[in-house]
Amino acid sequence: MTKPCFLGVDIGSLTVKAVLLDAGQRLLTRGVVPAGYGGQEAAEALVARLLRECGLTPDEIAYTVVTGYGRVRFATADEEVSEISCHARGAFHLCPAVRTVIDIGGQDSKAMRLDAQGRVVDFAMNDKCAAGTGRFLEVMAAALDVPIEQFGALALQSEHPVAISSTCTVFAESEAISHIARGVAKQDVAAGLHQAIASRVLGLAARVGLEAEVMLTGGVALNVGVVAALSRQSNQRITVPADPQTVGALGAALYAWHKGRR
Amino acid sequence: MAEKRYKKLKTAAELQRLMQWHYTRIRLPRLGRPLAWVTSGAPVEILRAMGVIAVYPENYGALCGARREAVSLCEAAEAQGYSPDLCSYARTSLGSVFQSERAPMGGLPQPDLLIACNNICGTVIKWYEAVAAHYEVPLFILDTPFIHGAFEPHALAYVVAQLEAMIRFVERTTGRRLSMKRLERTVRLANETVQLWSEIRALCKARPSPLNAPDLFVNMAPIVVLRGTEGAVRFYRHLKAEVEMRVKNGIGAIPKEKYRLLWDNIAIWHHLYRFYNYFVDYDACFVVDTYTGGWSQEIPEGQSELMEGIATAYATVFLNQSLEYRSHLMERLIREYDVDGFVMHCNRSCKPYSLGQYAIRRRITEGTGVPGLIIESDMCDARAFAAEAVKTRIQAFMETLAERK
């Protein structure tokens, strides 16, 4: 084994993420692909592609840690670690000043409070409801006929956001549609929806205590409207890392590095 | 596989026989003895002393839950218009009333009278009213005011008056008289049962703990249903002897005890062994819980008025007391049982038990430094249980405990 590397894989409900680190914890490469059915095949294909890009073979992976909802289905993993631990680890590695991590993924949102050593002191996750998640935004963007990538920017254009009172994804959709039918501007409905998701997520974060510095991870961190709404409603600066979707996979790779170093 | 992680008690067969006998006996010809449906926190000693047979819809609900037959009964109640947000013991019970052909054992035998005590919740009032309307039988509601701070003398006097009214109600509806001598004897038996149960729970302070939460939950049935009977005393004597032997020989409830946990709220009956085995996979044992300690109040005998003793014991159950009281109770258990973490079941059914859990959790962690996890589910309604979501939370929680060790 000439140059061992360390693999972290995060199999989520909507996307699969992978991060490869070298022996010095330096990033070799990372990638994000849609999960497809079950996520396992997508994960295997992604890992194969990343290895190829780096000129590595599977034998050179010294240790693999898998996380995310599909974690039990990834056969070649040495270990599985929860998303909570992985996101915390990844976020703390990127920014040791972080004390609160909010992760908003496709199907769940979670908040973690870290201590000065980066250990998870407390965490909370959404339960049995997709209202504070990426899926909520996807459904709403589709209802408003806006590409998901532009949804956040559209919300930022609003000057008179409407109030969306329903916290249920399905009912909020009908509420949004009825606003549109009454002639409310699209950006005002979009802004209302972004405020709704922010208030939902902050309610979750309040359970663990929103201590500065706050980092937002997960695919929804790419949405500027959500970041702005979270920041405004919480009166906190929200840090978004360069590639927020891969923070969990990075944490998994760091666990792999820790375990497989020798 | 699940069985291997669970060390069966030798007294399990005796427990089964005892409970089977109870459920058989209530169906036998009763020779004129009236049958009452009662809530788990009702002063059953008075009924027993008056020769009234008591059955417990809550225990029946737990039984249906454990047999995974509660959901279809809940659906039967929902079809009659009862909300899915209503307590699943209430829905299971009402479902078994409306559609007894669906119910295990055909439901409970029809009651002659009903006694509901609101020391455990307010749902029992409306639930028992619905049962009373269905069977057209008399209902007595024993009102125990919520205790915000101390149990004040005027509250005590009020509950004593309630008990006296209840006795008059039972005398009127059954034509039976209360003999104080029989009541004293029943109270003595009940106290003996309670004492044994408390001693068994206390034995779990040992390392490794001789019992895990499912053991406590399964073995609590007689303390609720048969408290104040010879049969219950006999059973708990045998159980205590077995648990003492486990402690003496250093035998733990789980193969390897690395973490000691506290459980809060009613069991998840439909996933009883499966759920606790998720924790066994991390070498974690629930050495103590708040729920099965709800029947550890002895009735003071001798010095004061017996009715005052009964009133005090029943009015001061932990569910009828403030969040402050409950967090102190949990903090004390955490220290006494040397607990590493606590898990609170946010039980969709049981509002009084589950409301305030976030506040209690924060307070306990601040006071003891011990972290807590909240799991959302329901005691009987398996539709409220998301296995993957639950497992993810347990894994994350056990990882945080591991980092602290």
- CATH code at B73? 3.40.50.11890
**pLDDT for the residue numbered A262:** 62
CA distance A85 to chain B (A): 6
| pLDDT over 80 at B313, yes or no | yes
Mean of pLDDT values over B383-401: 93
Give dist(CA B7, CA B256) in Å, integer.
Answer: 12
Give dist(CA A181, CA A176) in Å, integer.
Answer: 9
Mean of pLDDT values over B159-177: 97
Are A47 and A120 found together in one domain? Answer: no
CA distance B398 to chain A (A): 10
Residue B250 lies in a domain: yes
Are B28 and B157 found together in one domain? Answer: yes
CA distance A121 to chain B (A): 7
**Residue A63's closest CA among A80, A49, A48?**
A80
Mean of pLDDT values over B294-304: 81
Token reading at A219: 């695919």
DSSP B109: P
Are B90 and B199 found together in one domain? Answer: no
Residue B303 lies in a domain: yes
Contacts of B390 in chain A (CB under 8 A): none
Are A119 and A224 found together in one domain? Answer: yes
User: Which of A121, A123, A128 has its CB closest to that of B376?
Assistant: A128
Are B23 and B107 found together in one domain? Answer: yes
Residue B7 lies in a domain: no
Is B388 in Cβ contact with A119 (below 8 Å)?
no
Give dist(CA B165, CA B226) in Å, integer.
Answer: 24
**pLDDT for the residue numbered B304:** 67
CA distance A120 to chain B (A): 6
Is A119 in Cβ contact with B403 (below 8 Å)?
yes
Mean of pLDDT values over B313-324: 95
Domain boundary, last residue among B132, B160, B179: B179
Are B208 and B98 found together in one domain? Answer: no
| pLDDT over 60 at B333, yes or no | yes
Residue whose structure tokens are 């590695």 = A93
Token reading at A261: 């170093």
Give dist(CA B109, CA B55) in Å, integer.
Answer: 9
Is A84 in Cβ contact with B396 (below 8 Å)?
yes
Are A67 and A107 found together in one domain? Answer: no
| pLDDT over 90 percentage in chain B | 93
**Residue B120's closest CA among B154, B146, B91, B84?**
B146
Instruction: Give the C-alpha distances (Å, rounded to integers) separating B370 from A112, B265, B339, B405.
Output: 17, 18, 8, 12
Is B365 in Cβ contact with A128 (below 8 Å)?
no
- Alpha-helix residue ranges (DSSP H) falling in chain A: 40-54, 83-94, 134-143, 148-156, 169-181, 186-208, 224-234, 247-260
State residue A93 phi and psi, 5-degree precision. Answer: -65, -40
Is the distance from CB of B83 to CB of B64 less than 8 angstroms?
Answer: no
| pLDDT over 90 at B404, yes or no | no
Which segments in chain A show pLDDT lower than 70?
Answer: 1-2, 262
Mean of pLDDT values over B349-358: 95
CB pairs under 8 A between A and B: 44
DSSP states along B169-202: HHHHHH-----HHHHHHHHHHHHHHHHHHHHHHH
**pLDDT for the residue numbered A13:** 85
Query: Using CB atoms within 10 A of its CB, is residue B24 exposed (0-12), middle (13-18) or buried (19+)?
Result: exposed
Are A10 and A36 found together in one domain? Answer: yes
Are A63 and A117 found together in one domain? Answer: no
Confidence of residue B2 (pLDDT cuts 50, 70, 90): very low
Contacts of B404 in chain A (CB under 8 A): 119
Using N-to-C axis directions, what is the helix angle for B387-404 and B272-280, rounded to 10°? 30
CATH, residue A55: 3.30.420.40
Q: Would you list which residues of chain A are within 8 Å, Cβ to Cβ, of chain B? A: 69, 81-85, 108, 119-125, 127-128, 207
The helix (H) or strand (E) run that includes residue B254 is none
Give dist(CA B232, CA B229) in Å, integer.
Answer: 6
Are B252 and B299 found together in one domain? Answer: yes
Give dist(CA B382, CA B65) in Å, integer.
Answer: 8
Cis peptide before B208 (omega within 30 of 0): yes
Confidence of residue B5 (pLDDT cuts 50, 70, 90): confident
Are B160 and B198 found together in one domain? Answer: no
Mean pLDDT, rounded, of chain B: 95
Domain boundary, last residue among B163, B179, B195: B179
User: Which of A85, A121, A128 has its CB closest to that of B396?
Assistant: A85
Domain boundary, last residue among B179, B204, B226: B179
Is B399 in Cβ contact with A84 (below 8 Å)?
yes
Contacts of A83 in chain B (CB under 8 A): 392, 396
Strand order in the sheet with B341-347: B284-289, B259-264, B341-347, B372-377
Confidence of residue B4 (pLDDT cuts 50, 70, 90): low
Q: Would you list which residues of chain B are within 8 Å, Cβ to Cβ, of chain A? A: 358, 365, 371, 374, 376, 384, 386, 388-389, 392-393, 395-397, 399-400, 403-404
| Kind of pairing between the strands at A109-114 and A100-104 | antiparallel
Give dist(CA A138, CA A197) in Å, integer.
Answer: 12
Are B384 and B252 found together in one domain? Answer: yes
In A, minimum Cα distance to B400 occurs at A120
**pLDDT for the residue numbered A39:** 87
Are B232 and B321 found together in one domain? Answer: yes
Are B229 and B102 found together in one domain? Answer: no
| pLDDT over 90 at B159, yes or no | yes
Give dist(CA B402, CA A140) in Å, integer.
Answer: 40
Residue whose structure tokens are 């780096």 = A54
Domain count, chain B: 2
Mean of pLDDT values over B276-300: 94
Are A77 and A101 found together in one domain? Answer: no
Q: What angle do CA B45, B47, B53 make, to 5 degrees?
A: 115
**Residue B138's closest CA among B160, B106, B166, B114?**
B114
**Domain enclosing residue A73, as ranges:** 5-88+246-260
| Kind of pairing between the strands at B284-289 and B259-264 | parallel
Are B199 and B81 found together in one domain? Answer: no
**pLDDT for the residue numbered A2:** 55
Contacts of B386 in chain A (CB under 8 A): 127-128
CA distance A160 to chain B (A): 35
Contacts of A124 in chain B (CB under 8 A): 374
Token reading at B282: 């991390």
Is B396 in Cβ contact with A123 (below 8 Å)?
yes
**Domain enclosing residue B308, as ranges:** 182-404
Are A83 and A103 found together in one domain? Answer: no
Are B217 and B329 found together in one domain? Answer: yes
Is A128 in Cβ contact with B384 (below 8 Å)?
yes
Is the distance from CB of B375 to CB of B213 less than 8 angstroms?
Answer: no
User: Which of A85, A108, A127 has its CB closest to that of B399?
Assistant: A85
Are A120 and A143 found together in one domain? Answer: yes
DSSP A249: H
Domain count, chain A: 2
Residue B301 lies in a domain: yes
Residue A64 carries which side chain, given as an amino acid letter? T
CA distance A105 to chain B (A): 14
Is the distance from CB of B199 to CB of B240 less than 8 angstroms?
Answer: yes
Are A116 and A205 found together in one domain? Answer: yes
In B, minimum Cα distance to A85 occurs at B396
CATH, residue B245: 3.40.50.11900
Residues 6+ apart with CB under 8 A from B302: none
Are B167 and B202 found together in one domain? Answer: no
Is A82 in Cβ contact with B365 (below 8 Å)?
no
Give dist(CA A73, CA A41) in Å, integer.
Answer: 10
**pLDDT for the residue numbered A128:** 72
**Residue B257's closest CA among B302, B206, B217, B315?**
B206
Is A123 in Cβ contact with B395 (below 8 Å)?
no
Give dist(CA B333, CA B262) in Å, integer.
Answer: 8
Token reading at B63: 């039984």
| pLDDT over 90 at B289, yes or no | yes
Are A127 and A221 found together in one domain? Answer: yes
Is A84 in Cβ contact with B404 (below 8 Å)?
no
State residue B117 phi and psi, 5-degree precision. Answer: -110, 130
Residues 6+ apart with CB under 8 A from A29: A19, A20, A50, A53, A54
Is A125 in Cβ contact with B392 (below 8 Å)?
yes
Are A234 and A128 found together in one domain? Answer: yes
Are A62 and A109 found together in one domain? Answer: no
**Residue B91's closest CA among B375, B348, B385, B273?**
B348
